[in-house]
Copies of this chain bind each other. A is one copy, B any other.
């Protein structure tokens, strides 16, 4: 593992846990086992380093989902597929969504500058339109479904402290809860969007 990589790893940890304002170059240096000046030598300013991390974090989340949303699968299976993919990613990196979301909220210009995704996947949009006109699903636009999907998936992670406290679950129990939740989200999403066959 090269020094640059160790720094990126340390920066990732510190930024993700504390956000941009809460993180200090000193903390990142210590976490990476490296002198503070070396951060600037390799990565310029704090903002530069931060943007590198944010970019990487962001691209870890959405692009895969978008690719799945753009596949040729029928809508119903596709949704199920995306939920599994999305939740799988988040379970492996539970702090990712809140980090990306809060930092994008406080730095919205980042989106316009850096993010190349400028619309929902066209195949997904078309499927939603078709399914609506055919009356297979309730009247909804892609943004709604995208919001449903993301909201159902990320909430147990971003609001974990509250939810775990209220439900009185141990860490192990909460983990189990998260496992079961994949199926639950699929059920709610598909069941809530699709009309029943009569």
Residues of A within 8 A of B (CB): 17-22, 62, 98, 101-102, 104-106, 108, 111-112, 115, 117-120, 138, 140-144, 146-148, 150-156, 158-163, 165-169, 177, 181, 184, 187-193, 196
Across-interface contacts of A153 in B (CB, < 8 A): 151
A–B complex contacts, Cβ < 8 Å, 14 sampled: A62-B162, A101-B162, A102-B102, A104-B161, A105-B161, A138-B187, A142-B167, A143-B169, A147-B181, A151-B151, A151-B154, A151-B155, A188-B193, A196-B196
Contact B19 A166 (CB under 8 A): no
Cα distance, A193 to B184, chains bound together (Å): 9
A105-B160 contact, Cβ under 8 Å, with A143-B167, A151-B152, A169-B143: yes
Counting every copy of the chain, the complex holds: 2
10 A-B pairs with least C-beta separation = A192-B192, A151-B155, A188-B192, A21-B22, A151-B151, A21-B21, A143-B167, A191-B192, A108-B161, A196-B196
Cα distance, A163 to B159, chains bound together (Å): 20
Contact B147 A156 (CB under 8 A): yes
Across-interface contacts of A160 in B (CB, < 8 A): 105
Contact A22 B158 (CB under 8 A): no
A55, chain B: closest CB distance, angstroms: 14
A162, chain B: closest CB distance, angstroms: 6
Across-interface contacts of A140 in B (CB, < 8 A): 184
Cα distance, A167 to B144, chains bound together (Å): 10
Name the CB-closest residue of B to A193. Answer: B188
Cα distance, A165 to B155, chains bound together (Å): 21
Name the CB-closest residue of B to A160. Answer: B105
Contact B101 A158 (CB under 8 A): yes
Beyond known contacts A108-B161, A151-B154: 15 more, CB 8 A cutoff: A17-B106, A19-B22, A19-B106, A101-B158, A105-B160, A105-B161, A118-B168, A119-B166, A119-B168, A143-B177, A147-B163, A148-B155, A150-B155, A151-B152, A196-B196
